[in-house]
A = this chain, B = another copy of it.
Amino acid sequence: MHLEMVKECLEKVRQRNPLVHHITNVVVTNFTANGLLALGASPVMAYAKQEVAEMARIAGALVLNIGTLNETEVEAMLIAGRSANEQGVPVVLDPVGAGATQYRTQTARMIMEQVNISLIRGNAAEIAHVLGEKWEIKGVDAGQGDQDVSVLAQKAAKQWGTTIVITGKEDVITDGERIFRIGNGHPMLTKVTGTGCLLTSVIGSFMAVEQDALVAGAAALVCYGVAAEKAAGKAADEGPGSFQIQFLNELYKMDGADVLQMGQLNW
């Protein structure tokens, strides 16, 4: 895989405007919808058990995010997930806060047992907790920590037979065999709520136009990080309010030339 493929994926998203069905948390719905519209995808949020099967069926991808889960929503996630599976629509899971409470950890596992998930994105702690691994947050120290993340990602990918994205100082994506590291991004992303959730939805948008989840995910990570770097160049000094706005602008404006010039895709 190389940056030309990232560029192609981005252009396919903008040409096809894929419909991405979300069952996601109440904190990030507006930002997620605006981020996907800016990028060129077509977001829809639908939660009622009476309609999620129908909506998931016509979508290009389904994004499940447990950030503010409850019983009713989890039931809808399972219905939507099974419908997507029947129709061959890829399903992406964001296990927000897994490990913070047992309910989140167990719900993430239950969804994974009952729905065929094509890709899971989380930070290292979330992935480790769902996997049942002990994971101590080691702070910002790199080296050993980074290597651990790759090992963790590959173990999760093999055990679950899915593609895993672990985001952090460096982002890692693997299907258990192939592995990529994406060096793009910016620390200001951590000062805006829902940037992890929006990334998961951007990955979903790319998976709607590219069948290989590893390629789609890596392409999304590069584009997302490049947009963040461009936004930070304009607004990091002003603060997180301005950064958030510039980030939406850059999701809209960034293009293939930016990808080729700024993309950092390593393996």
Residues of A within 8 A of B (CB): 25-31, 33-34, 37-38, 43-48, 50-51, 54-55, 58, 67-72, 97, 100-104, 190-194, 238-242, 244-250, 252-253
Contacts and interface: CB of A to CB of B under 8 A. Distances in A.
Taken together, the copies of this chain in the complex come to 3
Contact of A192 (B37, B238, B239): B37
B245 A249 contact: no
A34 B103 CA distance: 25
A139 to B, nearest CB: 13
Most chain B CB neighbours (cut-off 10 Å) among A34, A67, A71, A239: A239
A70 B73 CA distance: 11
A50 B54 CA distance: 29
A27 B33 contact: yes
A48 B33 contact: no
Contact of A241 (B25, B190, B245): B245
16 contacts: A26-B29, A30-B30, A38-B239, A43-B193, A45-B68, A46-B68, A46-B97, A46-B100, A47-B68, A48-B103, A51-B102, A54-B102, A54-B103, A239-B249, A239-B253, A241-B252
A188 to B, nearest CB: 10
Contacts of A48: 68-71, 103
Contacts of A249: 238-242
A233 to B, nearest CB: 14
B72 A70 contact: yes
Given A45-B67, A51-B103, 7 more contacts: A27-B30, A29-B30, A43-B193, A44-B97, A45-B68, A58-B100, A241-B247
Contacts of A191: 37-38, 252
Nearest to A252: B239
A180 B252 CA distance: 34
Nearest to A253: B239
A44 B238 contact: no
A32 to B, nearest CB: 8
A193 B247 contact: no
A45 B27 contact: yes
A101 B241 contact: no
A239 B244 contact: no
A108 to B, nearest CB: 12
Nearest to A70: B48
Given A103-B51, A104-B51, A26 B45 contact: yes
Nearest to A28: B30
Contacts of A34: 192-193, 240-241, 244
